[in-house]
């Protein structure tokens, strides 16, 4: 089979000399970026909100977080149906391993973090119902009674994973900029 016809190297053009992700993969990626841009900062400021608007912050944070979970799962399923383009040969083996590690860790965190948050919310005794319903109108079932000890542990892990996500995002964005600005290759353009 001609290598240029392989789905892993297809979609090469003058703007994308190293290939590019398909439209659906790009949609998943940029939707995730927008959701993280909402969920992460709102999550970091919730603890500082002391008035009646606090529940609105929770509603936004929790809805964005659960949507990230659903999008991440759909993204992984889509990757099975439409594998991403292979990294070009000019990317050194060490960079390939680091990129793969960061991508795998990002997927793991994008799935784990919303689950921890959902469990913590329920353990605190605040299921996603009423004013904190998913997307503002979908009441999710309460599945456990409040358990302050468990809630504290889940919240601690949720916070640790949030900082981990911030570090992984920094590595991911830094890597993309490194390729685009210093190496001047088409790696960043694959997702544009």
The whole-number mean pLDDT for each consecutive block of 10 residues of the chain, a chain of 192 residues, reads 43 66 92 96 91 89 96 95 84 90 96 96 90 88 91 96 96 88 76 80
What distance in Å separates the CA atoms of residue 10 and residue 20, rounded to the nearest whole number? Answer: 8
R_g over Cα of the chain: 19
- Own/partner pairs for 153-156, CB < 8 Å, 24+ apart? 154/116, 154/119, 154/120, 154/123, 155/120, 155/124
Assess if residue 15 is contained within a domain: no
Assess if residue 14 is contained within a domain: no
Assess if residue 121 is contained within a domain: yes
What is residue 31's three-state secondary structure?
Answer: helix
Assess if residue 44 is contained within a domain: yes
Ramachandran assignment for 142, one of left (phi > 0), alpha (psi -120 to 50 degrees), beta (any other): beta
Q: How many domains does the chain have?
A: 1
Q: Residue 161 maps to which CATH number?
A: 1.20.950.20
Assess if residue 115 is contained within a domain: yes
Strand-pair partners of 134: 138
**Considering the entire predicted model, what is its pTM?**
0.85
What distance in Å separates the CA atoms of residue 116 and residue 79, rounded to the nearest whole number? Answer: 24
pLDDT digits (tens, 9 = 90+) for 143-189: 889 999 999 999 999 999 999 999 999 999 998 888 778 777 777 77
Assess if residue 142 is contained within a domain: yes
pLDDT digits (tens, 9 = 90+) for 146-155: 999 999 999 9
Assess if residue 13 is contained within a domain: no
How high is the pLDDT of residue 185? 79
**What is the DSSP code string of 128-183?**
S-GGG-BTTTBPPPP-S---HHHHHHHHHHHHHHHHHHHHHHHHHHHHHHIIIIII
How high is the pLDDT of residue 130? 87
Whole domain around residue 67: which residue ranges?
21-191
How high is the pLDDT of residue 15? 65
Assess if residue 184 is contained within a domain: yes
What distance in Å separates the CA atoms of residue 102 and residue 28, rounded to the nearest whole number? Answer: 17
Closest CA to 18 of 9, 28, 29: 9
């Amino acid at each position: 089979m001609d290598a240029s016809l392989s789905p892993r190297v297809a979609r090469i053009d003058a703007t994308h000399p190293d290939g590019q992700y398909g439209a659906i993969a790009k949609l998943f990626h940029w939707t995730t970026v927008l959701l993280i841009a909402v969920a992460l900062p709102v999550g970091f400021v919730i603890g500082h909100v002391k008035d009646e608007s606090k529940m609105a912050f929770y509603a936004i944070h929790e809805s964005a977080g659960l949507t990230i979970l659903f999008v991440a799962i759909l993204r992984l399923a889509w990757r099975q149906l439409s594998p991403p383009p292979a990294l070009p040969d000019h990317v050194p083996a060490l960079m390939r391993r680091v990129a793969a590690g960061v991508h795998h860790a990002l997927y793991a965190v994008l799935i784990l973090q919303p689950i921890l948050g959902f469990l913590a919310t329920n353990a605190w005794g605040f299921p996603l119902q009423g004013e904190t319903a998913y997307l503002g109108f979908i009441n999710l079932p309460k599945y456990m009674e409040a358990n302050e000890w468990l809630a504290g542990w889940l919240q601690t892990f949720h916070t640790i994973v949030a900082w981990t996500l911030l570090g992984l995002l920094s590595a991911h964005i830094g890597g993309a900029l490194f390729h685009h600005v210093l190496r001047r290759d088409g790696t960043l353009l694959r997702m544009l």
